[in-house]
Amino acid sequence: MTIRKPVIAGNWKMNKGPVAAHAFCARFAAAHAPREDRSILLFPPAISFSTVREALSGRTDLGLGVQDLHWEPDGAFTGELSAAMAREAGARYALCGHSERRHIFGESDQAVGRKAAAALAAGIVPIVCVGELLEERRAGRVADVILRQLDAALDAIPAGAESVILAYEPVWAIGTGVVATPQDASEAHAVLRARVGERLGEAVAAGMPILYGGSVKPDNAAALLAADDVDGLLVGGASLDPSGFAAIAAA
């Protein structure tokens, strides 16, 4: 059996400007000691990225990423940042296709794939997010939806896909307080891993981390991490509290 090192990622979304971000880093660094058995990632908003990078410059055990990027290398795209710019700023990871980008900002499956490809080309590891709406789950379409989203990403990145991280985040469980059961997560992750195996080979599938995201908290993190095929957690609201996130990081 392949042992995949757990990945715990904190997505701050549109929270914490530079002052609040600096205070978070001081408290989190004090609460979370470096450890080699897992990867801890932080995704601050773009305006606070440099603050977080500088505040944690002595913590090489902590990885930093951006919450989004554009697939073009440069150009007239006001408000956007390219993968190359993110890499130059110190980002080593990028969220691609988070449910809020898909459902609030209308990102298509193909756009997500282009972003993932751009990230890889710049030397950034994309975390490709997939997940179904509540009505899609009730209609028994979980596999159809997440495989469609996964296939679109894999279509765009035939080379370098072994460097991708996947995140399953059922939309009905994000910010609602309703969390998928460990069995729900395991079943969805197994579907995703099987598809990666079909398309890219069993070795790639065995090594690809698949994270669960959706109302993760300190009191359910350990149970989710213990579930089959769950290799880590994508944490939203609970990552905003340094002591709570430290507890999740240690689960």
DSSP designation for 205: H
Tokens coding 16: 């914490």
Calculate the alpha carbon distances from 178 to 134, 149, 169 in Å. Answer: 11, 23, 12
**58, 77, 80, 102 from 130: Cα distances, Å:** 33, 25, 22, 9
User: Which entry of 100, 107, 132, 169 is annotated as an active-site residue?
Assistant: 169
Catalytic residue among 32, 70, 98, 189: 98
Q: Given the structure tokens 């996947």, which residue do they identify?
A: 166
Quick one: the chain helix, strand, coil %, rounded to 5?
Answer: 45, 15, 40
Annotated active-site residue 98? The verdict is: yes
Q: Is 59 left (phi over 0), alpha (psi -120 to 50) or beta?
A: beta
What is the C-alpha separation between 146 and 97, in angstroms, rounded?
12
**Helix locations, the chain, DSSP H:** 18-31, 49-55, 83-89, 99-103, 109-121, 134-138, 142-156, 182-200, 202-207, 221-225, 242-249
Distance CA(101)–CA(92), nearest Å, equals 20
Active site residue 169: yes
Active site residues: 98, 169
